[in-house]
């Protein structure tokens, strides 16, 4: 450590709010990476994933309705992601040398370029995007023709420049949450706006209050505020709602140090240590700071127009209701176990412990650790109290159709225990055995979950206590032409929630409609229908 840091680094660390001990811990992780996550098997329907029948769905909806009326529900949306990835193909074509016209792009597409195919889809469907009118107005301000005229005249680069750069709309630099996604009669909506409407339909309390929180980048915070001020009055009137919206940024104290390929700290041109954002897992701090009760988490780009919202809203209510029911059951078990502390070996204590052991086995579907069934009552009581007194989450899972990203698995702990976890491919050790298990997964994580953040006494959990710090992500990156190693904190719904009570519920695939590329906006689920806005 003394060789890695210099005296002048102390001031930088103090400025960032990062301790020397934390930097030392991160450097050690580069030198001695933690072992990969060990998968036992995929979670499947009936084995780690609940498939609800009609009666269970109805009961969950009723439980949600009661919690919503009481103002227990809120929504947390990570919204700081830039739209540059969404426009990756267009940026690649705009950056090509020489003329950029349709013929040249078609040749690249025939040669196998995915970026060129994405650009062709954009050109063919340009009038169908919700932002078409905004793009056309920007072109007019620049003294250019319509989008279609520019395409036909072979001036595609100018069209892309106006869409993507400061010459016009600067969409590539905007957060995805502020891009126009959906067109309605008389209005267009961004994902930010769609999340407000979804909250009004799924998280409104008896007084009409809807509580939402968005994590945004500091440079775009004011733009989110401005859009909220512009659209909230209309949506509040339509839905008899009042939006209480908070914003926060990912704190610099959660940044992580970058190293070279020899695991030595990298520095910027002025000699300062190079730190990078620590990934979405750092947002566990923002989530914990909400002082929330029951909180939905959903990605900013997973939204639908109004005519498709009923199914999405129904299952958001169901997931919340399942959590309400689960939480009530867990709290009852904890109450009984609390009464057993005075005499865990007596008849009443024995009955409470046996009931809790059955709950863990039958409701949480968790196998007991070896020897726990025959352990002393006092040890069983300690184990059960620790197991049940944790944050909870109910996570929607969709049937996998080759989707990239993580999924639900039974994971082996260091003590031989099994727990249901959401696992990304990057967490594996690369062995053929683990790869085979990962590929056999039947379900995919759409990031559609609801969290219970308070204990049985109504006190917020310290969510940092339930993070598995070994579940970091290590990757190769580059900066300024230099190769580097980067570290991300355990993912928000991966290692950051590794020690939570977790229940997976199968939800319809139609509730998962992300927009990863601009071409996804041309899919039927994002195109307008004849139905008026709700």
List, in sequence order, every beta strand (DSSP E) within 134-241: 182-184, 187-189, 209-215
CA 63 – CA 512 distance, rounded (Å): 23
Q: How many CB atoms lie within 10 A of CB 423?
A: 30
Would you state the pLDDT for residue 339?
78
CA 311 – CA 317 distance, rounded (Å): 10
Q: In the predicted model, is pLDDT for residue 480 greater than 80?
A: no
255: tokens are 């940044």
Would you state the pLDDT for residue 467?
96
List, in sequence order, every beta strand (DSSP E) within 236-379: 242-248, 256-257, 275-276, 294-298
Region 513-520: what's the mean pLDDT?
95
Q: In the predicted model, is pLDDT for residue 3 greater than 70?
A: no
Q: Which of 109-118, 238-247, 336-345, 503-512 has the lowest mean pLDDT?
A: 336-345
pTM for the model stands at 0.93
296: tokens are 């939905």
Q: Which of 145-159, 160-174, 333-347, 367-381 has the lowest mean pLDDT?
A: 333-347
If we measure between CA atoms, which residue out of 117, 116, 146 comes closest to residue 132? 146
**Does residue 128 contact residue 527 with C-beta atoms inside 8 Å?**
yes
CA 216 – CA 221 distance, rounded (Å): 6
If we measure between CA atoms, which residue out of 403, 481, 475, 409 comes closest to residue 438? 409
**Does residue 463 contact residue 391 with C-beta atoms inside 8 Å?**
yes
Would you state the pLDDT for residue 370?
81
């Amino acid at each position: 450590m003394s060789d890695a840091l210099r005296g002048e680094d102390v001031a930088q660390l103090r400025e960032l709010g990062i301790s020397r001990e934390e930097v030392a811990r991160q450097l050690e992780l580069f030198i001695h990476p933690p072992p990969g996550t060990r998968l036992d098997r995929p979670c499947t329907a009936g084995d780690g994933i609940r498939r609800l029948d009609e009666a269970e769905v109805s009961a969950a909806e009723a439980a949600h309705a009661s919690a919503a009326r009481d103002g227990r529900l809120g929504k947390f949306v990570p919204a700081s992601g830039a739209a540059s990835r969404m426009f990756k193909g267009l940026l690649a074509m705009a950056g090509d040398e020489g003329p950029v016209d349709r013929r040249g792009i078609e040749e690249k597409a025939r040669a196998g370029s995915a970026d060129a195919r994405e650009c062709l889809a954009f050109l063919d469907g340009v009038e169908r995007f919700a932002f078409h009118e905004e793009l056309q107005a920007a072109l007019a301000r620049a003294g250019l023709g319509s989008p279609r005229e520019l395409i036909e005249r072979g001036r595609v680069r100018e069209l892309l420049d106006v869409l993507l750069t400061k010459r016009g709309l600067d969409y590539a630099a905007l957060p995805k949450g502020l891009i126009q996604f959906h067109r309605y009669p008389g209005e267009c909506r961004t994902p930010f706006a769609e999340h407000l409407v979804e909250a009004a339909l799924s998280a409104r309390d008896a007084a009409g209050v809807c509580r939402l929180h968005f994590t945004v980048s500091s440079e775009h915070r004011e733009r989110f505020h401005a859009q909220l001020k512009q659209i909230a009055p209309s949506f509040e009137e339509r839905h008899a709602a009042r939006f209480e919206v908070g914003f926060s940024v990912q704190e610099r104290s959660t940044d992580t140090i970058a190293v070279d390929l020899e695991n030595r700290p990298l520095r910027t041109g002025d000699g300062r240590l190079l730190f990078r954002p620590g990934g979405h897992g750092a947002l566990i701090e923002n989530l914990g700071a909400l002082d929330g009760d029951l909180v939905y988490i959903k990605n900013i780009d997973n939204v639908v127009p109004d005519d498709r919202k009923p199914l999405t809203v129904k299952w958001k209510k169901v997931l919340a209701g399942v959590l309400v029911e689960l939480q009530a059951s867990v709290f009852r078990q904890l109450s009984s176990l609390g009464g057993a502390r005075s005499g865990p070996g007596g008849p009443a204590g024995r009955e409470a412990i046996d009931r809790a052991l059955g709950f863990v086995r039958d409701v949480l579907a968790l196998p007991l650790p070896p020897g726990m069934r025959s352990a002393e009552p006092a040890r069983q009581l300690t184990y059960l109290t620790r197991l049940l007194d944790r944050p909870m989450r109910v996570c929607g899972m969709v049937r996998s159709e080759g989707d990239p990203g993580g999924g639900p698995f039974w994971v082996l702990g260091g003590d031989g225990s099994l727990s249901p976890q959401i696992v990304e491919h990057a967490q594996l050790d690369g062995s053929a055995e683990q790869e085979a298990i990962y590929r056999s997964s039947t379900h995919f994580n759409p990031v559609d979950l609801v969290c219970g953040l308070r204990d049985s006494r109504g006190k917020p959990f310290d969510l940092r206590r339930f993070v598995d710090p070994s579940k970091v992500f290590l990757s190769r990156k580059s900066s300024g032409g230099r190769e580097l190693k980067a570290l991300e904190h355990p993912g928000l719904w991966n290692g950051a929630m590794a020690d939570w009570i977790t229940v997976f519920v199968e939800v319809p695939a139609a509730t998962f409609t992300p927009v990863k590329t601009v071409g996804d906006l041309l899919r039927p689920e994002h195109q307008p229908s004849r139905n008026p806005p709700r």
